[in-house]
Amino acid sequence: MKNEKINRKEFLKKAGFGLFSIPLIIQGCSTAGESQTPDHCGFTDSATEGPFFVSSSRESVNINFTKLPGKPMNVNGIVYGGKNGETPVANAKIEVWHADKDGIYYPTGDGDISDYKASEIALRGHVFTNEKGEYSFYSIEPGLYPGRRRHIHYKIIAKGHRELTTQSYWMSDRGSIREQNDWTDRNTEICRYVDFKQDGNEGVAGVFDIYLERQG
């Protein structure tokens, strides 16, 4: 996938965006530790699915339906697609799964939901984008497990577009020792780092926009 990815400048040119319009069109991407200049990365890179994807998850805006303890977290954004990644995609299915606050997956396995008892399922589910391409889900902040930085897994399926399996990360982890020791998904583009902000008294919220390649 990496080799097929067009660079940012080419993407913007193909999409008909002038360079001076960049700050006006981009949401949710910024350059950590430097200025907060909005940026854009072209089509969203794929990342390994990992060993714990379970199919047939439930549709739920709140994927912490078992009420596990942790810091409340909201992730929201827009899925773009179309010929040049400029069009919001309605009805895209976004599968989400992540670890609990202690770095444990429920289940710690793969397969299908039907392979497990209901009590073994947590912190996974799916949502759909609305007519504006917008999505949002609520959960708790995932914890850490050995060898990985904090992350969330996604699988996005949208008609007419390539299926995308990817991961998002925490902007606050960017450049950290933990990231340097994470050999999964090296050279992550800046737009997959989510800049979480305080949301209410206890929670955090962040924006993760996703750009899908058209199929064919």
DSSP string, 183-210: -SS-S--GGGEE--EEETTTEEEEE--E
Residues 117-136 within binding reach of Fe ion (CB under 5 A): none
- Check residue 99 and report its DSSP letter: -
**Residues linked to residue 166 through DSSP beta bridges, in sequence order:** 154
CA atoms within 13 A on the CB side of 174: 20
Q: Whose CB is nearest to Fe ion? A: 50
The size of the interface with Fe ion (CB under 5 A), counted in residues, is 1
195, 171 contact by CB (below 8 A):
yes
Residue 22's alpha-carbon distances to 27, 37, 86, in angstroms, are 10, 9, 13
Question: Of the listed pieces 44-52, 106-114, 128-136, 155-163, which binds Fe ion according to CB under 5 A?
Answer: 44-52
Residues 45-64 within binding reach of Fe ion (CB under 5 A): 50
> Based on CB atoms, which residue is closest to Fe ion, 50 or 82?
50
> Based on CB atoms, which residue is closest to Fe ion, 98 or 161?
98
Chain centre to alpha carbon of residue 122: 18
> Based on CB atoms, which residue is closest to Fe ion, 148 or 161?
148
88 lies in the site for Fe ion, by CB under 5 A: no
What is the SS3 assignment for 157? strand
Closest approach, Cβ 179 to Fe ion, in A, equals 14
Closest approach, Cβ 99 to Fe ion, in A, equals 6
Closest approach, Cβ 85 to Fe ion, in A, equals 26
Closest approach, Cβ 144 to Fe ion, in A, equals 10
174, 193 contact by CB (below 8 A):
yes
> Based on CB atoms, which residue is closest to Fe ion, 185 or 209?
185
117, 151 contact by CB (below 8 A):
no
> Based on CB atoms, which residue is closest to Fe ion, 7 or 108?
108
Per CB under 5 A, residues contacting Fe ion are 50
